[in-house]
Structure 1
Amino acid sequence: MLSAVPIPGNPWPHDMQITVEDCPHHLRELLWLREAHGLQPEGDDLPPRLVETPERAAIPVDDATRALWEDAWVRIWRAVAAHAAREHDPQLFDQLQGTQAGSPQREALLREIVGPDWGDEFDRDAFQDPSHLDWEQTSMTAFIASRPHDLENSPELRDLDALIPAWRAGLTKIVAIPCQGEYTRKLGPHAILITDATRADSDKYRRALNSFN
C-alpha cells in the first residue's frame, strides 16, 4: 500500500510502503532440499522444519554428495536470504530490455535480479525429483487458494499499530517461509524473515514486528 497524499480516515500512513514476499522461490527450494534429502546442516538460527513435510527424494544422492550439500547448505541459505531481503529495483528490468541475449551485460543484470541459488554450485536437476514436483504443486495449490482470504484479512492491516513503529525503525520488507512454529530473524537493516505461522497469528506477528524496533 502506498499513497501520494494522506487519505482522510485511512490509518495506513500514506508514505508507508511494505513489501511482503510470501512465496520466496529459492528459499523454498532449499527448505525442500534439506528435508527431502535428509540433510543435517549445522549453524546458528537455521529455519524450522517445513509445515508440509515432503516425501523423501525419489532419486537419492550418495554419501559424498550429501556431505558436500550439507557443508554448502547454510552458506547458500544465507546468501539467498540476504538477496530475498532486498527491494527489487524496477530500473533493472528496464535496463534488461535494452541488452542483447547472451551478452555479458544481460547475464549480469539477470544475476542481479534473480540472485544466488542452489544452481550456482550444484546441479539443479535435483529439483526435477518427483518429491519436489509433488510438494511444490501441493503447496502452490494451497497458497493460491488462500490468496482471496489473505487479501481480505491482511495481517499487515490487522496488526497495523505494530507495523507502523517497525516501518519507522526501517522495516520495508517481510519475507515469509512455510515452516513450523514461531521464528523471526532480522535480515539486514530493512527486512525480517518469519514463518507463515508467525505472520498468521497476531500475537506472534506483533512480537516479530516489535523485535525490529
Structure 2
Amino acid sequence: MRSDEPMPGNPWPRDMVLHIETSPFGLIELLFAREVWQLAIREVPALDVVPSVGASSRLASGPRQGSGEMAALWRKDWARAWAPFDAESVGIPGPDAETARMLATLDDAELAQAVSSTPSEFWHRGIDSEALGTWRRELSGAERVTTLDETPERRSLPALIAAWETGLTDIVQLPYAGFFAERLNPRTLVVSRLTRSEPALFSRALATPVGERAE
C-alpha cells in the first residue's frame, strides 16, 4: 500500500510503503490446527469466530495428544511461522552463532526444516483442506472495501504515519477475539480483526510501544 503519484491535498506520504497481511500463510494453518486438536495454547488469544473444522480428524499416530508433545510441537512451529516478520529478516546479515551451528551439524533436509517458516507436515494430516480453504476465504473476504478512503489505514492515517515514522512497515491481522495489539519489533504490528476495523482501536494499537502487547 502506497501513494505512487503526488496528489494535491493527499495526506498519505508518497514514500510510505506498508504490507498488510490478513491471512498469513502458516499462522492461519496453525490456528486452524489448534482448533482441530483442541490444544490449550493460552498465550495465543482465542479466536473471534471459531472455524468449522469440517471433516478434520485427530490422528492416532504422531505425538501423544495428552503428553504435552503436541503443544510443544505447535509452539515450535508457531515461533518459526513468525520468522518472515522478524526485524532481523530484512537485509542479508551474516549468520549468527545458532545459524552457524545448524550449517555445520544438519544435513540439507534438516536444515531446510529448521529455517523454514512453514508448519511441520504433521499438521496437514487429517485436516479437511476444504474447510481450511473456506475459513481462509472468509478471512480475506471480510476485508473488502468499496473506496480507498474506507480502508482501515486511511481512517487512522495520523496514527499510522506516526507509527511508520518509528519504523512500521508490516501490519499482520489475525482473527483474534476482542482488542489485540502487539508491536513485535519496529517493523511489525500484530492486530485483531476488530482492532483494525475500528478507527479508535486501530489508532490505539498503532501507538503500542515496540516490544509491548495490549489486549
TM range (shorter): 0.7 to 0.9
Q: CA deviation at 1:16?
A: 0.9
Partner of 1:26: 26
Distance 1:56 1:137 in 2: 10
Alpha carbons 1:87, 1:173 under 8 Å: kept: no
Distance 2:186 2:193 in 1: 21
Distance 2:40 2:181 in 1: 21
Alpha carbons 2:174, 2:192 under 8 Å: kept: yes
Give 1 or 2: higher helix fraction: 1
Q: CA deviation at 1:153?
A: 1.3
Aligned length: 190
Structure 1 residues 160-212: Cα deviation after superposition (integer angstroms, max 9, x where no partner) = 01101100011111001122111111222211111111101112111110114
Distance 2:133 2:173 in 1: 16
TM superposition score normalised by structure 2? 0.72
Partner of 2:78: 77
Structure 2 residue matching 1:134: 3-state secondary structure:
helix
Letter in 1 for 2:163: A
Alpha carbons 1:36, 1:57 under 8 Å: kept: no
Distance 2:48 2:64 in 1: 23
Partner of 1:134: 131
Structure 1 residues 92-126: Cα deviation after superposition (integer angstroms, max 9, x where no partner) = xxxxxxxxxxxx8xx97xx98xx41212xx42532
Partner of 1:60: 58
1:10 aligns with 2:10: yes
1:48 aligns with 2:49: no
Cα 1:57–1:151, aligned 2, differ >3 Å: closer, same or farther? Answer: farther
Partner of 1:123: 122
Structure 1 residue matching 2:82: 3-state secondary structure:
helix
Choose 167-176 or 146-155, whichever is displaced more. Answer: 146-155
Over aligned residues, Cα RMSD in angstroms? 3.4
Any stretches of 5+ residues in structure 2 without a counterpart? 91-107, 211-215
Cα 1:145–1:191, aligned 2, differ >3 Å: closer, same or farther? Answer: closer
Partner of 1:194: 191
Which of the residues 165, 181, 184 maps onto 2:181? Answer: 184
Letter in 2 for 1:28: I
Distance 1:125 1:135 in 2: 10
Letter in 2 for 1:79: R
Alpha carbons 1:85, 1:175 under 8 Å: kept: no
Structure 1 residue matching 2:195: 3-state secondary structure:
helix
Distance 1:142 1:165 in 2: 27
Distance 1:151 1:9 in 2: 15
Partner of 1:206: 203
Distance 1:137 1:202 in 2: 28
Distance 1:145 1:163 in 2: 21
Which of the residues 149, 153, 174 maps onto 2:150? Answer: 153
TM superposition score normalised by structure 1? 0.73
